Structures are given as structure tokens and as C-alpha cells.
Amino acid sequence: MHVDDLRWFAVLAETEHLTEAAAALGTSQPNLSRSLRRVERAFGVPLFEREHRGLRLNPYGRLVLEAARVATASVDTAARRIGALVDPESGTVRLAFLHSVATSLMPDLIKAFRAVAPRISFELRQEAAHDIVQDLETGEAEIAIVAPRPDPARFGWHLLERQRLCLHVPPGHPLASRRRVELEAAANEPFVGLQPGFGFRRVTDELCRAAGITPDLAFEATDLATIDSLVGAGLGVAILPSGAVRGTDSGTVSIPLSGVQARREIGLAWRLQAQLTPAAERFRTFVGSRAVTVS
């Protein structure tokens, strides 16, 4: 039994009429009948009830129809992926990226890459860092823009950006006029931060512990742009990477943190034990040729 036999069987099962199915498939009725016999021999049971008006799918046939649809869909997916492997000029890059790079780094990279590889498309996944790492592990994503750096024993890494950490305060805040500020100066302020589990939330928690403060969280968001907007509305202050929020009119004032050596590092990651498709490999090579941005 060939996979095409399952395709023909699925068409016959949907029409339940030999003549109509043969016409739809562009084959003869004898060819279709021989194909059906091969499928029935493979499963060892008849799959249709023969009636004078045509065919009627029986319970065995319904089970085989379900399996045939799954099998042929899997074969088609494999064929598409193989097509991407043998044609580096096309194909799809399965790219996961952080929410915080959605309006800055990620679209800039894609725009620059598509200028030299216009036939390559992208399948995008916008997620938190822990979900991105899981998708790299499972193969749902081939390559990712992520922070912080995942386990170097399992993932390749190319640094893209180093971002200075800043304290964002509302307009008119007493700290807004400072050129630099120590985190301890905001010890008594309400904070707006990311929800637990996000990579940058771990960074801010570590900074606060090092400064000896326990932030009073007024709100926990899922993206940096929301945090910036809420700070602008006067809900509190926040630690944010320089340049991570672009194109907002929140009015927040960004003050570099003094006494803090840590910077947020964003990079391109991929699973070391997985072979990238030529499209993804081409994107990785392109991104790897770009200089590291420091902000």
C-alpha cells in the first residue's frame, strides 16, 4: 500500500461514489478499485458496504479515514520541510522572539534580511524567555531572539545587543532631573514590573536584592511597553533596559542606574544538536555578521 492509496481512499470515502471519485482524481474506475483493494488487504477488513447506489463507509472505514488524513498530512508536511532543505533561496525560518524586541530589534533584523533574501519567509512566535527555550528544545522554533542567554552546553549564541539598565520614572518625579541614580533612591517607591517567570524579571529581582531593597510591586505586566505606559501614568517606577521600548508617548523619564555593572544581553540562540534548515542557517549567518549594539 502506497501513501497515494490512502489519498485516493480519502477521496472515495468522502464521495462514497466510485465514478465521482475516479473523475475527481483523474484516474479510471479500475485503477481506483485496485487501489481500494490494496488498502482493504492492508487492514484485513472491508471498509465500505457495497450498495446498489454506490458505497457506504462502514465503522472500519471511518477509522481508516481518520488515520489516512493524519498520515497524508504528515507526509505533506515532511515534503514541504524537505523542499525547504534543498532550496536555500526559499523556505521558512521558524523564529521565536521576546515581547520586548517586537517593536525594535526583531523587525529591524527581518527587514534587513529580507532585503537580501526576499523569497525566505518567517513563521514567528512571540513569547516569554522560558517558552522560547522550550520551543527550541522541541523544534517548534529553530532559532530565537532571547535574553538571558540559555544554557551554553545546549544552545549556540550570538550576542546582538547590550542594553544599559535604567530607572524609568513618571514626568515631574523628584528623581527625573538626575543624570544618574542609584537604585536605593527608589527603595520607597511603588514599582511596576514583569510577572514572575520572565527572564528580565529575574534580572530586576537580582538587582533589587543586591541593592538591599524589596520592591513594592503595584502591578506585574507581561511586556515592557505596558510597564513603560503605566509608569508614565504615575502608577510607579520601573527598571527597564535602555532602548527596549520604542515609539511610545508615555512621557516617562529614563535615568541610567549608577553602581550597576549588569546589562541586559540579547542574542540569537539555536539548539546545538539540531541541524538548521538552509533558510534558518542563512538567517543565522546574516545576523552573525552584524556588530553588537551597545545602548
Q: Is 134 exposed, middle or buried (0-12, 13-18, 19+ CB in 10 A)?
A: middle
Of 86, 105, 129, the residue at which a domain comes to its end is 86
Q: What is the pLDDT of residues 269-294, one digit of tens each?
A: 999 998 898 889 999 999 998 877 76
Element (H, E) at 250: none
Regarding whether 181 and 95 lie in a shared domain, the answer is yes
Secondary structure class of 204 (helix, strand, coil) = helix
Return the closest-CA partner of residue 93 out of 285, 289, 277, 268. Answer: 277
pLDDT in single tens digits along all 295 residues of the chain: 788 899 999 999 988 888 888 898 899 999 989 999 999 999 999 999 988 777 899 999 999 999 999 998 888 888 877 776 667 777 889 999 988 787 778 899 999 999 999 999 899 999 888 899 999 999 999 999 998 899 999 999 999 988 889 999 999 999 999 999 999 999 999 999 999 878 788 889 989 998 999 999 999 998 888 999 999 999 999 999 887 776 567 889 999 998 766 678 899 999 999 889 888 999 999 999 887 776 6
Residue 261 sits in the same domain as residue 206: yes
Whole-structure pTM value: 0.63
- Beta-carbon contacts of 117 under 8 Å, excluding residues fewer than 6 positions away, are 89, 279, 282, 283, 286
Q: Are residues 29 and 107 in the same domain?
A: no
Q: Within this chain, do residues 82 and 95 fall inside the same structural domain, yes or no?
A: no
Residues 169, 233 within the same domain: yes
For residue 154, what are the contacts with CB-CB under 8 A and spacing of at least 6?
Answer: 137, 271, 272, 273
Quote the Cα angle for 100-103-109, to 5°: 100
pLDDT digits (tens, 9 = 90+) for 57-73: 999 999 999 999 999 88
One-letter amino acid of 107: P
User: Is 99 found in the same domain as 47?
Assistant: no
SS3 at position 216: strand
- If asked whether residues 128 and 269 sit together in one domain, one would say yes
Query: What CATH number has the domain bearing residue 149?
Result: 3.40.190.290
Q: How many domains does the chain have?
A: 2
CA angle 171, 177, 180 (to 5 degrees): 115
Same domain? 119 vs 48: no
User: Which residue range(s) make up the domain with 208?
Assistant: 91-295
Last residue of a domain, one of 67, 86, 105: 86
CATH of the domain at 21: 1.10.10.10
Query: Which value, in Å, is the radius of gyration of the alpha carbons in the chain?
Result: 28
